[in-house]
Chain A
Amino acid sequence: MISLYAGRKRRNGLMIVLAYAATAFGLGWLVLILGQLLWEGLSGLSLQVFTEMTPPPGGSGGLLNPIVGSLIMTTLAVLIGTPIGILAGTYMAEYGRYEKLTSVVRFINDILLSAPSIVIGLFVYEILVVSMGNFSGFAGAVALAVIVVPVVVRTTEDMLLLVPNTLREASAALGLPRAHIVLTIAYRAARAGILTGILLAIARISGETAPLLFTALNNQFWSTNLGAPMASLPAVIFQFALSPYADWQRLAWTGALIISFTVLALSIIARILSAPRKSS
């Protein structure tokens, strides 16, 4: 009887220690990775990084053209993907809440949400790059937009579902048409949540590499032409990190630092926006 009890206690103690160890293990990676990133990236961080073009091996230079390329493609992707995402999410929450179409779209959207991004790259290669005949910044932006859509659809639907129905009923009783209820009441109530979704989508695509590899390709030189291959930070990091040149590798670390902190800042802002407000 005593030994049974001791055994149970021992097993419990062991598992609790393991749970603590697992948490330390998980947090340890975060510290290790971010620490290494800061260590390697900060040493190469200077104004030059933001003002000069990518250098040839052995030369000195910065990351201006990939930074601008990433900004252009991300902006365009958000401009294309966000309206589609918000409208689709609106249909699911406002018009077709109990329709079959909505549950099908929700299921498909969830699949798209976690579909391998390299497959999205292949898809855009097939429909845009093959038909236009060359790699282009536009194709890169479309590939990123395909990744934006499911993120925005998901958050828009979730946030609109949180808007209390009494608000809709009250405005309908005032004679407001359905579209205006959505546009002026529901959107306003769900504004912070929808914005969070967009920020999360930006955070997601600013680190995406795989879909850009064979859509926007890469570009050693300054280019803002959407019809031509365009540099992007992730693609340049990929190229430079796998190169044998030490100065290219250092620039890759610096680029990695810039991306990570952009992404982390965006997700932290999104978290603050979506945090439940303290009881007022």
Chain B
Amino acid sequence: MSSAGRRPVTDLALSGAHFGSKVIEERGAVLRRLRRTDSLFRVATRTAAYTVLLILSGVILALMIGAWPALSTLGIDFFITQDWNPVTEKFGALAPVYGTILTSLIAMAIAVPVGILIALFLTELCPMWLRRPIGIAIELLAGIPSIIYGIWGLFVFAPFLQQTLQPFLIALFGPIPLLSSLFAGPPYGIGMLTAGLVLAIMVLPFITSVSRDVFDAVPPVLKEAAYGMGCTTWEVFSKVVLPYARVGVIGGVMLGLGRALGETMAVTFVIGNAHKISASILAPGTTISATIANEFTEAVGDIYTSSLIALGLLLFVITFVVLAIARYMLLRIERRIG
């Protein structure tokens, strides 16, 4: 199409030959309206982005204000004692902090190797057509609400452990000096070990899906080269895939740890809610989140309520640090791959 012989459109527009002044005015109005909605939308999206920041700073600020009465009256005792006595208003965070860390450690000790092995299965051993269904099934475990794990743990899993695993552990480690105190006591069913095991099932899908994604991102050339040299599947995995994907796996593990530390409902059902530190991992204990969930609505007195909020603040700080490390690790591997 040639425009030879025609006057350029711009010339027409500039001379105003075909447009009445009314038309131009209407166009101006439309343009102004468009510009207004344009800047309005931009401001709205920017405000929403700031809202996200506002929420997080709000959480930290509200918890600090709520925790202040307890922290200022109890001082350092809050962090280093394990008394929890609403009558004398003496509150120490040691028992719940210990419970939180111990149950999470039990969970990670089981979930990390199992999760990584499942990821190995999904990326190296599983037939192609089965990969997606099995991957989805494992991820469905992450979708089940935590209260379901709680009710199942209380009515099914704890009685089962009481009759099988716990008597077995007590009998097995009873004669061994140091370990006997770790596995001492009657099999209650509920307790630290049970909570840790339920948490292990809950964080398993997080570790599996992150590990699978980073294993998948390992360049095939590296694996093929190793296979070509005659490495076995396990050698390829442990000497090539795992070192390459290490940072990402650590990120996934930290993500799971963050979940385990903050998990509330499942733990509340099966931990037993005892405010003491026991040497035995079969004994009932408590965690930060279980303590808050159980006692908050019943707490009377400012110091009691405030102590529980201070526990919440402590939990938030711990998970914040763990999650920040997880994000940093995952960001590092993303940069390397991307």
> Closest CB-CB distance, A230 to chain B, in whole Å?
14
Contact B62 A19 (CB under 8 A): no
* A232 CA to B116 CA, complexed, in Å: 37
Which chain A residues in 164-215 approach chain B with CB under 8 Å? 177-180, 182-183, 203, 206-210, 213-214
> Closest CB-CB distance, A116 to chain B, in whole Å?
3
* A123 CA to B120 CA, complexed, in Å: 40
* A196 CA to B140 CA, complexed, in Å: 16
Which chain A residues in 198-255 approach chain B with CB under 8 Å? 203, 206-210, 213-214, 217, 234, 237-238, 241-242, 249, 252-253
Contact B46 A95 (CB under 8 A): yes
> Closest CB-CB distance, B261 to chain A, in whole Å?
7
Contact B52 A149 (CB under 8 A): yes
Which residue of chain A has its CB nearest to the CB of B42? A95
Interchain CB contact (< 8 A) of B297 among A111, A114, A214: A214
Contact A84 B51 (CB under 8 A): yes
Contacts A91-B46, A210-B293 given: A29-B141 contact, CB under 8 Å? yes
Task: List residues of chain B with CB within 8 A of the CB of A237.
Answer: 147, 151
Contact B327 A110 (CB under 8 A): yes
Which chain B residues in 223-242 approach chain A with CB under 8 Å? 232-235, 237-238
Contact B59 A179 (CB under 8 A): no
Contacts A25-B114, A36-B156, A214-B296 given: A88-B51 contact, CB under 8 Å? yes
Contacts A30-B137, A95-B42, A117-B264 given: A123-B293 contact, CB under 8 Å? no
Contact A20 B121 (CB under 8 A): yes
Secondary structure type dominating chain A contacts? helix
Interface residues on A, range: 35 or more
Tell me, yes or no, whether A119 is within 8 Å of chain B by CB. Answer: yes
> Closest CB-CB distance, B32 to chain A, in whole Å?
11
Which residue of chain A has its CB nearest to the CB of B145? A207
Interchain CB contact (< 8 A) of B41 among A22, A84, A182, A249: A182
* A127 CA to B59 CA, complexed, in Å: 9
Contact B52 A87 (CB under 8 A): no
* A104 CA to B54 CA, complexed, in Å: 12
Hey, what's the 0/1 contact readout for B166-186 against A, CB within 8 Å counting as 1? 000000000000000000000
Task: List residues of chain B with CB within 8 A of the CB of A32.
Answer: 156
Tell me, yes or no, whether B255 is within 8 Å of chain A by CB. Answer: yes
Contact A104 B235 (CB under 8 A): no
Contact A111 B324 (CB under 8 A): yes
Which chain B residues in 64-80 approach chain A with CB under 8 Å? 65-66
* A247 CA to B98 CA, complexed, in Å: 36
Task: List residues of chain B with CB within 8 A of the CB of A84.
Answer: 48, 51-52
A-B pairs, top 7 by smallest CB distance, nearest first, are A207-B145, A116-B262, A87-B48, A91-B45, A12-B232, A22-B117, A179-B41
26 A-B Cβ contacts within 8 A? A15-B233, A19-B118, A26-B208, A32-B156, A33-B152, A87-B47, A94-B45, A108-B53, A111-B323, A111-B324, A112-B52, A114-B255, A114-B323, A115-B323, A116-B263, A117-B262, A120-B59, A122-B292, A126-B62, A153-B52, A179-B37, A214-B296, A252-B151, A256-B148, A260-B144, A267-B143
